[in-house]
């Protein structure tokens, strides 16, 4: 029998990873570290996409890109911010110092729709480690400032100590035509910003709602509240983008463990337009 | 009168007597005005023979393809499994199966069996399969799996359709699946003329007959009377070479009657798929409904493992002698691990996992591969240790959950 099947883009074993060298490691907050990974050759990846990081003998974890990639002198430098959660992330943060190797394959997922955002106001809503995948957007808008409208950056963490990228937050606020609003769930000495949830700040932003794009990432509960508040303020469903997280093993839509409704988060996401997932987002455990 | 005339006559009889109000009848009716048809695919060039002839057919096919291994259903510890066969005569011909929710027994009275607990999935995506071998220095050691050629012998139409569904998800993407799928050189299908108690293939258009995607198909009319047809030029060549006789009028008539019987028996076992899909969309967030229908489920994942279309896998690292083997392993969505992540759980409550199984088959597969992901084989019902019956859930959905 002639099997009438089509091999789409199948070349070699997609699970083969590349070997990367850890060239720097920065402690962002308790249990949160940013790794600077270096490869020979070019590694193309877009803001919002992620890589699978592999630790020998333990396994892989999906980690979003947390800064724009740098490609120069024949090598690529990538940043990934990792929070200690399970066996693999523990092994990365405790075991991998500067000079260690790590396996990396990717990029996976679709990324933030930055082309569509051109000419429009941008609002970024990030909570905790969810700020990491949003950071490349901020850097990109900074670099291509004239292409975008006003930018509002809303960032929150449980406590001020838990906020990643503390050392450069001032720089975000200093970007032309940009407003930075911070929040901490709990009060702390010397904290002059909002106390409460980052989503509270949605009421305070001044943008052209009809010509806006909103990028949200954080715990799913926080993202649901954000959506509610954004819709309440009149943002269109189609203009709200969320980056979701699920259990992931393959990154290429074959292991099935990242299913969210009929979507494979690894392949169809991790960034979703709210209007595409409104049937699922409110259903517990879908 | 040749087969073709009988085909039209048989279809007319079917319409008149049994299928008038079913969805399939409409389909058959519209097709009967054309040259091809839903039931056969090649104008029903039916041939007749016995198991000895099937042996000849298999032998000729093996000679034609050269050095191929046979995979099919065979007896194993009083059950029927899917696996490699030494010879074609391992096909069980002197036993029947008795299947009920949570019940499977082999009976020595009777000669028809429905299906195995393991499906072709066990070959295409083995329960444990190597993905990668890695050295401590993060170098990849490629596993050199040799080339192979395989013939699937006697697989049921439901399992054949399950392969097409898996193709939609995994072919060209999963290396192990793609390689094994490509190794299949020919497919011989055994059509089911007497459905088992847990079967409902016709209600999801996955059987009991097959019209495309096979080389040769046969149906067991009586104990040692088989009706053959071909579905490819290879199949035609082999059947002609085997010197099979054209089926007589009586065979053709009996065949179509039995098919019609099987269909009418199964179609009523679940509601129409379109109605189910509508009800599922409405009930997606109805927690109390899903808690009720999953109340007997223990989350063992048996349904996932016996399901011919479930494909979810976990990847585990197993370290041996200085190498880490990355092993893909089946992971059932009914088991607790599904959705578990470090620091949280996306499907902690059992009802959400049971719901995913049902929604995936009927709502999500159509969006992922363009067809319902359930083939109505009934394995999940038969092999559920608690006898949870998917059909009850489906029927409750449409009835409004009042039963």
Question: What does the pLDDT look like over A131-165, one tens digit per residue?
Answer: 999 999 999 999 999 999 999 999 999 999 999 99
Any chain A CB within 8 A of the CB of B187? yes
Any chain B CB within 8 A of the CB of A149? no
Identify which of A17, A56, A253 has the shortest CB distance to residue B136: A56
Contact A246 B174 (CB under 8 A): no
Q: In whole angstroms, what is the distance from residue A175 CA to residue A173 CA?
A: 6
Size of interface A-B (CB pairs under 8 A): 152
- For the segment B146-174, the average pLDDT, to the nearest whole number, is 94
Q: Kindly list the strands in the beta sheet with B245-246, ordered across the sheet, starting from the edge strand earlier in the chain.
A: B79-85, B69-76, B150-155, B184-191, B216-222, B225-230, B47-49, B245-246
Q: Is the pLDDT of residue B263 over 90?
A: yes
> Is B355 a member of any domain?
yes
Any chain A CB within 8 A of the CB of B215? yes
pLDDT computed for residue A124 by the predictor: 98
Which residue of B lies nearest to A220 if distances are taken between CA atoms? B346
H or E stretch covering B191: strand B184-191
B156 and B83 in a common domain: yes
> Is B110 a member of any domain?
yes
pLDDT band at B110 (very low <50, low <70, confident <90, very high): confident
Q: Is the pLDDT of residue A261 over 90?
A: yes
Which of B259, B293, B322 finishes a domain? B259
Structural domain count of chain B: 2
B280 and B185 in a common domain: no
> Is B184 a member of any domain?
yes
Q: Report the residue count for chain B.
A: 403
Alpha-carbon distances of B97 from A88, B121, B129, B185, B265, rounded to whole Å: 47, 21, 30, 29, 18
Task: Tell me the pLDDT of chain A averaged across its residues.
Answer: 94
B285 and B345 in a common domain: yes
Contact B175 A103 (CB under 8 A): no
Residue B285 has which token pair?
A: 């967030």
B296 and B249 in a common domain: no
B370 and B240 in a common domain: no
B53 and B184 in a common domain: yes
Least confident among B105-114, B222-231, B322-331 = B105-114
Complex-level ipTM? 0.92
B118 and B220 in a common domain: yes
Residue A237 has which token pair?
A: 């469903």
Q: In whole angstroms, what is the distance from residue B224 CA to residue A263 CA?
A: 48
pLDDT tens-place string over residues B277-296? 999 999 999 999 999 999 99
Contact B161, B125 (CB under 8 A): no
- Please tell me the distance in Å from A115's CA to the nearest CA on chain B: 27
Task: Write out residues 18-57 of A within 8 Å (CB-CB) of B.
Answer: 19, 54, 56-57
Q: List the Cα angle B111/B113/B117 in 5-degree steps.
A: 150
Q: Is the pLDDT of residue A267 over 70?
A: yes
Identify which of B139, B186, B356 has the shortest CB distance to residue A1: B186
Percent composition of chain B: helix, strand, coil (DSSP 3-state, to 5): 40, 20, 40
B286 and B351 in a common domain: yes
> Is B180 a member of any domain?
yes
Q: In whole angstroms, what is the distance from residue A52 CA to residue A15 CA?
A: 10
Give the domain range for residue B65.
Answer: 47-126+143-259
Which of B232, B259, B286 finishes a domain? B259
Q: In whole angstroms, what is the distance from residue B13 CA to residue B384 CA?
A: 38
> Is B17 a member of any domain?
no
> Is B133 a member of any domain?
no
B235 and B92 in a common domain: yes
pLDDT band at B5 (very low <50, low <70, confident <90, very high): very low
Burial class (CB in 10 A: 0-12, 13-18, 19+), B23: middle
Which of B228, B259, B290 finishes a domain? B259
> Is B42 a member of any domain?
no
B280 and B238 in a common domain: no
Q: Is the pLDDT of residue B188 over 90?
A: yes
Mutation site, B131, B137, B138, B354, interface A, largest A CB count within 10 A:
B138
What percent of chain B has a predicted confidence (pLDDT) above 90? 81
B351 and B253 in a common domain: no
B288 and B253 in a common domain: no
Contact A249 B313 (CB under 8 A): yes
> Is B318 a member of any domain?
no
Contact B173 A3 (CB under 8 A): no
Contact B172 A15 (CB under 8 A): no
Residue B326 has which token pair?
A: 């990355």
Any chain A CB within 8 A of the CB of B332? no
Q: Is the pLDDT of residue B201 over 80?
A: yes
- Please tell me the distance in Å from A230's CA to the nearest CA on chain B: 23
pTM attached to this predicted model: 0.90
């Amino acid at each position: 029998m002639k099997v009438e099947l089509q091999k789409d883009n199948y070349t070699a074993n997609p699970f083969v990873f590349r070997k990367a060298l850890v060239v720097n490691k920065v402690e962002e907050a308790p249990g949160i570290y940013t790794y600077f990974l270096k490869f020979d050759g070019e590694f193309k990846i877009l803001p919002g996409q992620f890589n699978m990081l592999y630790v020998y003998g333990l396994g892989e974890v999906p980690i979003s890109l947390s800064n724009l990639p740098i490609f120069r002198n024949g090598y690529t430098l990538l940043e990934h911010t990792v929070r200690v959660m399970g066996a693999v992330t523990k092994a990365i943060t405790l075991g991998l110092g500067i000079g260690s190797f790590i396996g990396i394959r990717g990029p996976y997922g679709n990324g933030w729709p930055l082309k569509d955002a051109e000419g429009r106001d941008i609002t970024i809503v990030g909570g905790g480690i969810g700020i990491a995948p949003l950071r490349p957007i901020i850097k990109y808008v900074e670099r291509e400032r004239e292409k975008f409208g006003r930018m509002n950056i809303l960032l929150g963490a449980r406590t001020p100590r838990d906020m990643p990228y503390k050392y450069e937050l001032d720089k975000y606020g200093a970007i032309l035509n940009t407003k930075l609003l911070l929040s901490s769930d709990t009060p702390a000495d010397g904290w002059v910003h909002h106390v409460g949830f980052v989503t509270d700040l949605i009421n305070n932003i001044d943008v052209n709602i009809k010509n806006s794009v909103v990028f949200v990432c954080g715990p799913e509960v926080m993202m649901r509240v954000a959506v509610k508040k954004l819709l309440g303020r009149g943002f269109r469903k189609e203009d709200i983008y969320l980056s979701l997280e699920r259990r992931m093993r393959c990154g290429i839509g074959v292991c099935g463990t990242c299913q969210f409704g009929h979507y494979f988060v690894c392949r169809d996401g991790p960034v979703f337009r709210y209007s595409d997932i409104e049937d699922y987002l409110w259903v517990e455990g879908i | 009168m040749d087969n073709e005339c009988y085909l039209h006559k048989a279809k007319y009889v079917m319409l008149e007597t049994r299928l008038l109000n079913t969805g399939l009848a409409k389909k058959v009716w519209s097709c009967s005005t054309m040259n091809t048809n839903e039931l056969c695919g090649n104008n029903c060039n039916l041939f007749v023979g016995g198991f000895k002839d099937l042996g000849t057919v298999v032998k000729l096919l093996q000679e034609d393809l050269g050095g191929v291994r046979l995979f099919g259903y065979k007896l194993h510890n009083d059950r029927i499994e899917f696996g490699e066969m030494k010879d074609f005569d391992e096909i069980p011909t002197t036993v029947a199966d008795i299947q009920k929710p949570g019940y499977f027994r082999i009976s020595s009275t009777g000669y028809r069996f429905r299906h195995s607990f393991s499906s072709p999935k066990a070959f295409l995506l083995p329960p444990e399969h190597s993905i990668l071998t890695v050295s401590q220095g993060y170098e990849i050691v490629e596993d050199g799996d040799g080339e192979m050629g395989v013939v699937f012998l006697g697989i049921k139409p439901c399992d054949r359709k399950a392969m097409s569904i898996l193709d939609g998800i995994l072919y060209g993407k999963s290396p192990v699946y793609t390689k094994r799928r490509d190794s299949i050189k020919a497919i011989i299908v055994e059509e089911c003329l007497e459905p088992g108690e847990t079967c409902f293939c016709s209600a999801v258009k996955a059987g009991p007959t097959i019209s495309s995607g096979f080389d040769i198909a046969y149906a067991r009319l009586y104990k040692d009377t088989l009706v053959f047809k071909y579905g490819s030029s290879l199949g035609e060549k082999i059947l002609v070479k085997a010197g099979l006789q054209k089926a007589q009028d009586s065979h053709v008539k009996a065949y179509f009657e039995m098919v019609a019987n099987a269909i009418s028996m199964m179609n009523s076992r679940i509601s129409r798929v379109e109605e189910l899909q509508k009800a599922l969309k409405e009930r997606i967030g109805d927690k109390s409904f899903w808690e009720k229908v999953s109340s007997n489920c223990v989350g063992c994942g048996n349904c996932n493992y016996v399901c011919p279309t479930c494909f979810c896998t976990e990847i585990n690292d197993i370290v041996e002698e200085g190498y880490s083997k990355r092993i893909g392993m089946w992971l059932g969505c009914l088991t607790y691990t599904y959705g578990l992540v470090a620091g949280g759980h996306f499907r902690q409550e059992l009802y959400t996992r049971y719901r995913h199984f049902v929604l995936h088959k009927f709502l999500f597969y159509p969006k992922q591969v363009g067809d319902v992901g359930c083939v109505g084989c009934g394995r999940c019902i038969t092999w559920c240790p608690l006898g949870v019956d998917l059909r009850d859930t489906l029927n409750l959905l449409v009835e409004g959950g009042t039963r």
